[in-house]
Amino acid sequence: MTATDAPAALAARRLAEVRMRLAHRAAGADLALARSVVSGDALPAGAARAEIYRGEASAARRAIEIVGPIVTRVSSWTDLHAALAPHGITYAAKGSGAVIFVDGIAVKASTCRAASRTRLETRLGPFQPRPEPVDAPPWTEHPKKTATAPSPRPAPGVDPDVFALARQAETAASMARSAYDATYPMLNFAPLLKAAVAGPAPRAAPNARTLAQQAGKPSPRLAPVRRLAHDGANLTGLLGRYHDALRADLYRVVAERPRLRDHVDRDGDPEQERDRLMQLTPRPMAEVAAGWAALERVGGTESHVHLTPISGDRHHVVLSGLRSAQVESLQASGFTPALVLHRSGGLHEVVLTTPNQGRPYEQAALAEASEDLRLGLGVARSPHGLRVDDPDHPAAATPDEDGRTRRVYAQVLSATGAICVKLGRRIAHWIGIFACRFGLGPGSRLGRGLDPDATEADDARPHADAPVYWAHRADLLARWQERWPEPSRVDALIARRLRGTGHGEDAVAALITACAPLVPRIGRHAWTGYGRRAAAHAFRDDGEEGCRMFDRSSPAMWPELEQAVRKRAQAVQQEPSMVPVQPEASPVTPPPRKIRAGTTEKGKRPGGRGDDWWD
């Protein structure tokens, strides 16, 4: 056994390899350029804003969802016009292009790429107008007369109750505006003069997001447009084996390759400008198979192809770049991979799968369990997911008969699709740690806040509403399902909740100033200004919408939470104190702490970064 084979040397080489990979990924991520290979139809920006703020389904959405499937199956202009007629949609020429009339609203035909006039004329021949029927409805003769007529259909991402409220508010605002215009109509050309004579003009109707917030309903979200469904009949070969093993709802595919600059460096070699990313946006595996050929063609043979499984009922942990000994050690320790791929050079890709039970802190526990696995194995996190190509294979450099180099993919060693029970136990272990550290619901006692107005003579009494702050914080973290939040974002959400329960801005600022310093975090703050900024953000109208998407509770639950906290605090105060008097103890030297590989304890100072600095 040589010195290079010692465990310490092996661990050092692994950590150096991890740092080099992370440094390369960080350097490439700053200048990464991502673009979609299979460009699907998307709503224009104006139509998307109208759906979110008015709650109505846009004409562009109907043009994409209805006209798109029709134009792909018709074989003549006559068939196209006949198929669109039952939906009340008209396809007409305009200049060198075309427009689609949906509910009397003109939409550019290129909004649906397959319905553009150029593509249709290439396939169906020169444009042929629709024959006008004898009993044509009025809007087909004069489409501009009803161009502003609103659609009676709610947008897919809008609650029906919110849509009804938005329609009522818009009708009331329209009637008020009509009555105002009827007063002194001769002054309608001068709004300022009319405002001085007849009073200010009535306000516009509130948007659907404001009405949803006032009613305690879910905020309107932009729903994606419906696309053609695939039956999955073309799921053969490797893609079928991937899907059988992973069983994910959606898959994101990324092809990454370097792009060379036009000039060379000092040594005469071409310089790499940045990593170029081609991707298939998350979609079912059947649709991924439909766009896979386009990704291979655009990405080229030099690209690295990555596959990321996305599922709502499963967790997928990807371990990339493992050696054979590491895979055997992982399996010997009780982990059951769902998929194992082998690439040239002795590298393996391993995917562990476990059910997602939607428990509190589950996403944060998954991140901690994954990080522990990667740190123990000495591998870096793959930024784009499972790597499925094998560019180092000898057959990858062999050109085909047409002169093109054939792409070779990693060999599938096992595709069992097994559920990793040990990974589930690791996640449950971390959930227990978070529950003990942060608590669950109103029973959480995470710390005590000090009153900022207290002096030394007051013996630094705790803030009266400190239990309310900690209860809201525990409730937010217990419901968190995204990437683990920064403490400042949690404080902003707490301030928003406190505003919703009737606390004033000064009281919210004082409470956050008192409690926020006791939360472990990176860096230090001037806490008085920190509390004021958090409160000002919550009491500012434009900041309200940005925080709403991160809070998964209903505003009706916040007063109930605070009432439970105060009731519990009163019960604790009424109980007699039974704390015995402890004798003085001599100082005890703390035991040495166990340090994990890859971490450092240098530079520890009071108030510095602790074990739970990530919170």
DSSP class per residue in 533-602? HHHHHHTSHHHHHHHHTT--S-TTHHHHHHHHHHHHHHHHHHSPP-PPPPPP----PPPPPP--TT---T
Count Cβ atoms within 10 A of the Cβ of residue 278 and give its class: 0-12 exposed, 13-18 middle, 19 or more buried.
Answer: buried
Which amino acid appears at position 251 of this protein? Answer: Y
Q: Per DSSP, which regions of 338-476 are E strands?
A: 339-343, 347-355, 386-387, 411-414
Residue-wise pLDDT tens digits, 418-438: 999 999 999 999 888 877 766
Tell me the average pLDDT across 289-315: 84
CB-CB contact of 301 with 343 (8 Å): no
Residue length of the chain: 615
Tell me the average pLDDT across 61-74: 86
| pLDDT on residue 613 | 32
Distance CA 444, CA 442 (A): 5
Superfamily of 237-262+270-427 according to CATH: RepB DNA-primase, N-terminal domain (3.30.70.1790)
Q: What are phi and psi of 374, to 5 degrees?
A: -65, -40
Q: How many other CB atoms are there within 10 angstroms of residue 281's CB atom? A: 16
Distance CA 403, CA 396 (A): 13
Query: Which range among 12-26, 186-200, 547-561 has the greatest average pLDDT?
Result: 186-200
| pLDDT on residue 53 | 85
Residue 302 has pLDDT above 60, yes or no: yes
Q: How confident is the model at residue 368 (pLDDT cuts 50, 70, 90)?
A: confident
Q: What angle do CA 238, 240, 245 make, to 5 degrees?
A: 95
Tell me the average pLDDT across 108-124: 87
CB-CB contact of 68 with 115 (8 Å): yes
Tell me the average pLDDT across 513-540: 82
| pLDDT on residue 256 | 84
Strand 33-36 versus strand 270-283 pairing type: parallel
Q: How far is CA 79 from the centre of its chain?
A: 42
If we measure between CA atoms, which residue out of 21, 48, 11, 76 comes closest to residue 320?
Answer: 21
Q: What single string gives the DSSP state of each residue in 29-95?
A: HHT-EEEESS------HHHHHHHHHH-B--HHHHIIIIIHHHHHH--SHHHHHHHHGGGTEEEEEET
Tell me the average pLDDT across 123-146: 63
73-79: which pairs have CB atoms within 8 A and are 24 or more residues apart? 74/124, 75/124, 76/124, 76/125, 77/120, 77/124, 77/125, 77/127, 77/128, 78/128
Percent of the chain with pLDDT strictly greater than 70: 69
Write out the two tokens for 409.
């993919």
| pLDDT on residue 446 | 44
Q: What angle do CA 327, 332, 334 make, to 5 degrees?
A: 105
Tell me the average pLDDT across 296-311: 84
Q: How many other CB atoms are there within 10 angstroms of residue 460's CB atom? A: 11
Residue 607 has pLDDT above 50, yes or no: no
| pLDDT on residue 418 | 92
Q: How confident is the model at residue 129 (pLDDT cuts 50, 70, 90)?
A: confident
Higher pLDDT, 301 or 506: 506
Give this prediction's pTM.
Answer: 0.54
Which strand (E) or helix (H) includes residue 420?
none
- Residue 203's SS3 state is coil
Ranges 202-206, 485-489, 609-613: which has the least confidence: 609-613
If we measure between CA atoms, which residue out of 246, 491, 205 comes closest to residue 350?
Answer: 246
Name the residue ranges covered by the structural domains of the chain. 45-146, 160-215, 237-262+270-427, 439-573
Query: Which range among 48-52, 89-93, 110-114 has the greatest average pLDDT?
Result: 89-93
Q: At what angle do helices 487-500 and 466-479 cross, to 10 degrees?
A: 120
Q: What are phi and psi of 612, to 5 degrees?
A: -105, 45
| pLDDT on residue 15 | 64
